[in-house]
Amino acid sequence: MKIRANGINMNFELSGKKDAPVVVLSHSLASSLAMWDAQIEVLEPHYRVLRYDTRGHGKTDAPSGKYTLDMLGDDAVCLLDALSIDVVHWVGLSMGGMIGQCLALYHADHLYSLALCDTAAIMPDENQPVWQEHIDTARSRGLQGLMQSTMERWFTAPYLDKNPSTVQLIRRQFLNTPVEGYIGCSEAIRALNYLEQLSQINKSTLIIVGEQDPGTPVAASEAMRERIPDSRLVVLPSAAHLSNVEQSEAFNNALMGFLREI
């Protein structure tokens, strides 16, 4: 379904138990709401589940130009307002976790709790040339030029070998991402700088990370856990960046255990 929010048409799906607390699922860069398919079955019997395509992704509008995390956070708040949803459990992976931090810092009244998955709170200066290279490649060659290296960051080698059908679905999402959306969101991510503000977060927070995540490594999650009061960290073995896909059962167990305690 689509709805107008914050000046763009946003694509979303709302499913699950009516009149239950709402869980929002926010996806990674160059993905879509379909990234969360493995979580839907366990969430829907207990929660109302809202998943959406971030600005520049999936079936949501992809305006040209640089995006910011504030803009992506405003998109999320405006989507909730348009759907008359007041407060949610936020579950964000990678870019979705960065948007979650923005909400926890600047729109905390919209959150019951926060799950930050395979994400980070600051972008090191030494990573800036890599982001520029990705942006330049996307602009000159399209996302096809980034696909192989991205899949190797998102999944461990054994998973890539043994799960071709699932990996193909993720590849399709990646290649279907509009170039303008990829570049716009990359500009937002490369400016990430929330680390020293995290002590202000006062929501129950779960941090999940794949043990072999090369893009947002365990150390980045440990840095968040050290700063967010009373947060907890779960490290999933045999998982890289898309831990919710690669180790979906362990991811779901950690998430559901956390949500049931709230």
Strand partners, 232: 206
- pLDDT at position 145 is 98
Strand partners, 15: 49
Low-confidence ranges of the chain (pLDDT < 50): none
- pLDDT at position 105 is 98
Q: What percent of the chain has pLDDT over 90?
A: 100
- pLDDT at position 255 is 98
- pLDDT at position 243 is 98
- pLDDT at position 176 is 98
Determine which helix (DSSP H) or strand (DSSP E) holds 113, and give its type and residue range. strand 111-117
Task: Give the pTM.
Answer: 0.98
Do 12 and 40 touch, CB atoms closer than 8 A? Answer: no
- pLDDT at position 173 is 97
> 54: closest CA among 85, 97, 87, 86?
97
- pLDDT at position 234 is 98
Chain position carrying tokens 């799960």: 163
Number of domains in the chain: 1
Both structure tokens of 189? 């991510």
- pLDDT at position 7 is 98
Determine which helix (DSSP H) or strand (DSSP E) holds 211, and give its type and residue range. none
Listed in sequence order, the DSSP H helices in the chain are 37-43, 69-82, 95-106, 128-141, 147-154, 157-162, 164-176, 179-190, 218-227, 243-246, 248-261
Query: In terms of C-beta density within 10 A (0-12 exposed, 13-18 middle, 19 or more buried), how is residue 129 classed?
Result: exposed
- pLDDT at position 124 is 95
How do the residues of the chain divide into helix, strand and coil, expressed in percent and rounded to 5?
50, 20, 30
- pLDDT at position 93 is 99
- pLDDT at position 127 is 96
Q: What percent of the chain has pLDDT over 70?
A: 100
State the residue range of the domain holding 199.
Answer: 2-261
